Amino acid sequence: MSTAGEQDADLSLQEEHESKTHRTKRRDGDRQKKKRRNERRKGGTRAGEGEEDLQAVSEKRERSKRKRAKSKQETSRRENNEEEEAQLTGGKGTKARKDIRNEKTRRMEKEEVREVDENVDKGKKKQGSTKKGEKKEDGGKQLVKEKARDIKKKKHKKAETRYSEPETSEEDDDEEEDNDKDVVRPECLSPEELEKLKEAVDERKKLIQSLRGKPWPMKKKLVTLRESQEFVEKYEGALGKGKGRKLYAYKVLMTKALMGRPYGSMPRKTVPRAEEASAMDFAVLWDFGVSGYYFICLLLYPQGYAQYSVLFYGYYNNQRTVGWLKFRMPLSYFLVGVGTVAYSYMVVIRTMARNANESGVGDDNSFNFSWKMFTSWDYLIGNAETADNKFASITTSFKEAILEEQESHKDDNIHLTRFLRVLANFLVLCCLAGSGYLIYFVVRRSQKFALDGLENHTWWERNEVNMVMSLLGMFCPMLFDVISTLENYHPRVALQWQLGRIFALFLGNLYTFIIALMDEINLKRKEEKVVKFNITMWEASLYNGTVLENSTAPPVTIHPADVPRGPCWETMVGQEFVRLIISDTMTTYITLLIGDFLRAVLVRFLNYCWCWDLEAGFPSYSEFDVSGNVLGLIFNQGMIWMGSFYAPCLPALNVIRLHVSMYLQCWAVMCCNVPQERVFKASGSNNFYMAMLLVILFLSTLPAIYTIVSIPPSFDCGPFSGKNRMFDVIHETLESDFPPWFSKVFSYASNPGLVLPFILLMVLAIYYLQSTSKSYREANVELKKKLQMQNEENKRKNKRAALKAQMDLEEARKTAQEQQRNNNASVQDQEGESFDFKY
Amino acid sequence: MILHRCVIDCTFFTRKEILRLHGRYHELAPHLVPMDYTNEPDCKIPLALIVNMPELKENPFRNRIVESFSEDGMGNLSFNEFVDMFSVLSEMAPRELKAIYAFKIYDFNVDNYLCKEDLEKTLNKLTKEELTPEEVELVCEKTIEEADLDGDHKLSFADFENMISRAPDFLSTFHIRI
């Protein structure tokens, strides 16, 4: 390829376009690419036009041959880069060729510079290659170039092409060019031109940024990227932003460092392929089971040491301040309780508001079939069994949609349906009443047992209440499910009814439980009175002889463990809640193991020797019940809210329990469950669950509030012991810890005369907001309707226009045909005549 | 493997991810794909090997997916096209881009319109041909009726885009993780 170099030398005396053709000939098979590139460059981008303008301007100035030769080299280098980095061409010898050529041309150029005069005619310039201004003498510039070369070499160190020599030579050329530009450009171009150049550079930068999102084939993207990058590099330097590239790289780095990466984008955040299979291995989980058993046994009997631990209310001392920091312990205990409830309310209501915003759009029915067709297949599915399930569920969903479409006018026997529904509701009410009575009965019985002394009874009789509640919670929902088949509702509506009934069941159970608890509290308080009396007698007997109660007796050291203790009803309440939650957890796990795992094992292995197909028929595998599990979580949370005032560590215990549950259920789902058959969009139920959570929050905090407000605390245990009511601690704090004027202001503010009007004002505000929101909603519906009508109008108009266009086309064609026929006929006639003429 | 910055800028992947993708690409056809790209080999893996990848194996549209990203339309992907395919199907790609390629995928006869035959083929692939021909007919009719805005009884890209931009599930289902 040495001829190429010689050709370059020759070209110094020829026109530009000829040199172009020479180059195209030189590049075998690159002609097309080049033309495409040229077209693109001269094409319609604004950047391109800007550059054209600048070209025109700079054309007026004198340019040196050296510049043109350099530009040729520049473009040839660009071509080289394209080939290199497109990775799609095979040219293996091109590198070597380029090597030699570059060396030669460089040498040539240096000679040319000293010889050649400047030429004015530019004609068709390649983009970006001809912006050089006047060529000044090189001598002084060589030094500058050397320096610039060094700097740019460091910059390009990170460049990832392998061939250093041609690269550096290319870099050198680049630097020389840049440098010349650096030195030459700003002086030669007017501010408007600079402006335009800047715009062009920005345009290119934007293009580079947006390249990812363009739907072009990869080849085109790479080529465009290369061009734009080179363009930006060249001219950014000229505009004085020499550090542009470094800054860009730095920016990119910082963005990546600061923004998180999604799941699956890093090895760390993805389950490794090798472990995917064993991540759900039962054996791994069971290793923890043995030690867990002992832990759970300890918790099931929250007596012994646990009773006198931080776990329960009774542990806390009633000292007003604790430690040298004067931490107001009772006050903080109270405020923490109140604060968590207030925070929970805020969070739930905020989530509900957010869900309400989002769900407004989702109730669209206008693209039912289209969406089913194009968005129902989940591209993430990689498991054959899952794929089969998905195919089945898609087919079912289509069949249902077709059925709905066809039967939308069918009016079933309304009276029968109504009767069945009333019957179903009646049965459900009976169930609920029955379960409520059962719990009441069991609680009464256990109170009798307690009076007899707990040691005389079996384990079952001791834990009867909890067991009964858990069993009811397990079997009644199934019963409700069976009853609901009578009702024949749409699945989503049926689901809501089902959830509502389960909710009512649990609430009933919980409140019966609380009422029983209240009875026990009263019992304990009576006991307390007795104990108080006994204590005074006991103290009196200690100080023999002194009858006065508050006499200054000599300090008699008594070990704290010997002091007779009053029954602490608050601790008792806390204990009951802990026991309830633990038994609830146990029930869930056992249900999971028996109901899901054992069932799956039986179905899988008995199927070989059973008369009917167990997998398709009666037991089959259990479905994963999303709604039931969500409900379970909600109730768990409700119990925590209720009990956390009296057993402060309960939330911590619950966190542990939730972690364990998550892993266990994760395994159970993958191992034993099949997906639901009828899949319908339950996303509209988001706010339904949140509303349930809100109701539970309200209902769970009621008992705690009632006990705080109406029952006096125990006399010798807990942070509020000795006070008349628990909230007296606030009063006390106000009086003693705040400046006197504060308590006066507070007492004025809590005057009923002020509070009542305030409440009235709030009620009015709520009413006003409610009515405005209703009117907005109605306006929204109206607008939606209008939009739909517009859409249909447009469709109709378009259809009409299309039809008309078709008819016109037909007519035009017909007339054209007729004309042609006429022409043919006339030609034939003529021919016939001429024929006749002949003869 | 030497990686060029350009591929990083043209897709939504990071350098590490692209290297990992190359590992996957290589193990599809170790004898065809070189580990060293410095000589710019021009190798393409045939369709049959790509659709056996675990991510695509169960997808009823796997052939169409690979064909839409190949330059020759026959499903032979070079490494760049391979990366491009997974980049568009990743969760980082924007909705508009995904809509464009979804349209290409469902357009079986590559005429830039989703005509009735395209829809029928799509439906049969989705339901493994379990629906009766009348049901298929009904569903395709309804689909065209719902989405066709210009009345030509087939869906152009504008119709498709208008319909898919309102679909709540599109982004979450049109997603492959690799």
pLDDT tens per residue, range B65-102: 999 999 888 989 999 999 999 999 999 999 999 999 99
Mean of the pLDDT values across residues A483-507? Answer: 83
Q: Where are the alpha helices (DSSP H) in A592-685?
A: 599-606, 626-643, 650-672
Mean of the pLDDT values across residues A176-189? Answer: 47
pLDDT of residue A27 exceeding 90: no
Percentage, residues of chain A above pLDDT 90: 12
Contact check, Cβ <8 Å, B126/A802: no
Report d(CA A503, CA A635) in Å as an integer.
Answer: 9
How high is the pLDDT of residue A468?
82
- Asked if the C-beta of B134 comes within 8 angstroms of chain A's C-beta atoms, the answer is no
Contact check, Cβ <8 Å, A160/B7: no
> Which of B114, B122, B37 is CA-nearest to residue B83?
B37
- Asked if the C-beta of B9 comes within 8 angstroms of chain A's C-beta atoms, the answer is yes
pLDDT of residue A8 exceeding 80: no
pLDDT of residue A157 exceeding 60: no
Considering CB atoms only, which of A162, A212, A387 is closest to B58?
A: A387
pLDDT of residue A545 exceeding 80: no
How high is the pLDDT of residue B113?
93
What are the tens digits of pLDDT across the range A310-320? 666 766 766 66
Could you give the angle at the alpha carbon of A691 between the alpha carbons of A424 and A758, nearest 5°?
Answer: 125
How high is the pLDDT of residue A805?
87
Percentage, residues of chain B above pLDDT 90: 62
* Paired strand residues for A623: A674
Residue of chain B whose alpha carbon sits nearest to that of A388: B58
Q: Which residues of B touch A218 (CB under 8 A)?
A: 10, 78, 80-81, 83-84
Helix H or strand E encompassing A692: helix A686-710
Lowest mean pLDDT: which of A45-49, A126-130, A533-537, A753-757? A126-130
Is B82 in contact with A88 (CB distance < 8 Å)? no
How high is the pLDDT of residue A775?
95
Q: Which residues of A touch B12 (CB under 8 A)?
A: 212
Report d(CA A813, CA A519) in Å as an integer.
Answer: 96
| Long-range contacts of residues B138-146, Cβ cutoff 8 Å, at least 24 apart | B138/A402, B138/A405, B139/A369, B139/A373, B139/A398, B139/A401, B139/A402, B140/B116, B142/A368, B142/A369, B142/A405, B143/A369, B143/A370, B143/A373, B143/B119, B144/B116, B144/B119, B146/A366, B146/A367, B146/A368, B146/A369, B146/A370
How much is the ipTM here? 0.94
Report d(CA B49, CA B41) in Å as an integer.
Answer: 19
Residue with the bigger pLDDT between A115 and A285: it is A115
How high is the pLDDT of residue A537?
84
pLDDT of residue A148 exceeding 60: no
Q: Which residues of B touch A225 (CB under 8 A)?
A: 6, 9-10
What are the tens digits of pLDDT across the range A277-297? 554 443 333 333 334 444 444
- Asked if the C-beta of B27 comes within 8 angstroms of chain A's C-beta atoms, the answer is no
Contact check, Cβ <8 Å, B87/A383: no
pLDDT band at A441 (very low <50, low <70, confident <90, very high): confident
Report d(CA A71, CA A77) in Å as an integer.
Answer: 9
How high is the pLDDT of residue A756?
92
Complete DSSP assignment for A136-167: --SHHHHHHHHHHHHHHHHHGGG---S-HHHH
pLDDT of residue A530 exceeding 90: no
* Paired strand residues for A322: A327
What is the value of pTM for the model shown?
0.58
How high is the pLDDT of residue A379?
93
- Asked if the C-beta of A382 comes within 8 angstroms of chain B's C-beta atoms, the answer is yes
Residue B47: helix, strand or coil by DSSP? helix
Considering CB atoms only, which of B58, B150, B175 is closest to A383?
A: B58
Contact check, Cβ <8 Å, B135/A398: yes
Which span out of A256-260, A615-619, A644-648, A650-654 was modeled with the highest average pLDDT?
A650-654
Contact check, Cβ <8 Å, B127/A391: yes
How high is the pLDDT of residue A92?
44
pLDDT of residue A564 exceeding 90: no
Lowest mean pLDDT: which of A507-511, B94-98, B143-147? A507-511
Which span out of A171-185, A316-330, A678-692, A812-826 was modeled with the highest average pLDDT?
A812-826
Instruction: Give, in order, the Cα–Cα distances in Å from B34 to each of A160, B38, B39, B45.
Output: 18, 10, 10, 12
Q: Which residues of A touch B143 (CB under 8 A)?
A: 369-370, 373
Residue of chain B whose alpha carbon sits nearest to that of A273: B178
Contact check, Cβ <8 Å, B6/A226: yes
pLDDT of residue B27 exceeding 80: yes
Report d(CA A270, CA A741) in Å as an integer.
Answer: 61
pLDDT band at B139 (very low <50, low <70, confident <90, very high): very high
Q: Which residues of B touch A264 (CB under 8 A)?
A: 91, 177
Residue of chain B whose alpha carbon sits nearest to that of A249: B5
To which residue do tokens 């009345």 refer?
Answer: B151
What are the tens digits of pLDDT across the range A76-109? 555 454 444 444 344 444 444 444 454 554 555 4
To which residue do tokens 């024929």 refer?
Answer: A835
Contact check, Cβ <8 Å, A375/B142: no
Contact check, Cβ <8 Å, B80/A371: no
Q: Which residues of B touch A794 (CB under 8 A)?
A: 149
Instruction: Give, in order, the Cα–Cα distances in Å from A73 to each of A3, A98, A798.
Output: 15, 10, 56
CA distance A95 to chain B (A): 10
Tokens matching residue A353? 């508001």
Residue B77: helix, strand or coil by DSSP? strand
Lowest mean pLDDT: which of A356-365, A602-611, A648-657? A356-365
Q: Which residues of A touch B42 (CB under 8 A)?
A: 88-90
Percentage, residues of chain B above pLDDT 70: 96
How high is the pLDDT of residue B3?
54
Contact check, Cβ <8 Å, B55/A382: yes
Mean of the pLDDT values across residues A728-742? Answer: 81
> Which of A297, A229, A247 is CA-nearest to residue A463?
A297
Please tell me what DSSP assigns to residue B45.
B
CA A217, A222, A225, A231 dihedral sign is negative
What are the tens digits of pLDDT across the range B55-70? 999 999 999 999 999 9
How high is the pLDDT of residue A269?
47
Is A798 in contact with B149 (CB distance < 8 Å)? yes
Count of A–B CB contacts within 8 Å? 193
Burial of B69 (0-12, 13-18, 19+ CB in 10 A): buried
| Long-range contacts of residues A302-306, Cβ cutoff 8 Å, at least 24 apart | A302/A575, A302/A578, A302/A579, A303/A575
Mean pLDDT for chain A?
A: 72
> Which of A203, A196, A197 is CA-nearest to residue A228?
A203
Report d(CA A689, CA A521) in Å as an integer.
Answer: 33
Contact check, Cβ <8 Å, B167/A212: no
How high is the pLDDT of residue A93?
42
Tokens matching residue A234? 């060249």
Task: Name B90's Cβ contacts closer than 8 Å, sequence gap at least 6.
Answer: B12, B13, B175, B176, B177, B178
- Asked if the C-beta of A375 comes within 8 angstroms of chain B's C-beta atoms, the answer is yes
- Asked if the C-beta of A790 comes within 8 angstroms of chain B's C-beta atoms, the answer is no
Contact check, Cβ <8 Å, A215/B93: no
Residue A309: helix, strand or coil by DSSP? coil
- Asked if the C-beta of B25 comes within 8 angstroms of chain A's C-beta atoms, the answer is no
Mean of the pLDDT values across residues A240-268? Answer: 59
- Asked if the C-beta of A360 comes within 8 angstroms of chain B's C-beta atoms, the answer is no
pLDDT of residue A184 exceeding 50: no
CA distance A215 to chain B (A): 6
How high is the pLDDT of residue A686?
73
Contact check, Cβ <8 Å, B106/A374: yes
What number of CA atoms fall less than 13 Å from residue A311's CA on the CB side? 21
Contact check, Cβ <8 Å, B42/A211: no
Question: At residue A727, what are phi and psi to the nearest 5 degrees?
Answer: -80, 0
Is A712 in contact with A728 (CB distance < 8 Å)? no
Tokens matching residue A342? 């207030």
Residue with the bigger pLDDT between A265 and A578: it is A578
* Paired strand residues for B45: B77
How high is the pLDDT of residue A135?
41
Task: Name B148's Cβ contacts closer than 8 Å, sequence gap at least 6.
Answer: A795, B154, B155, B159
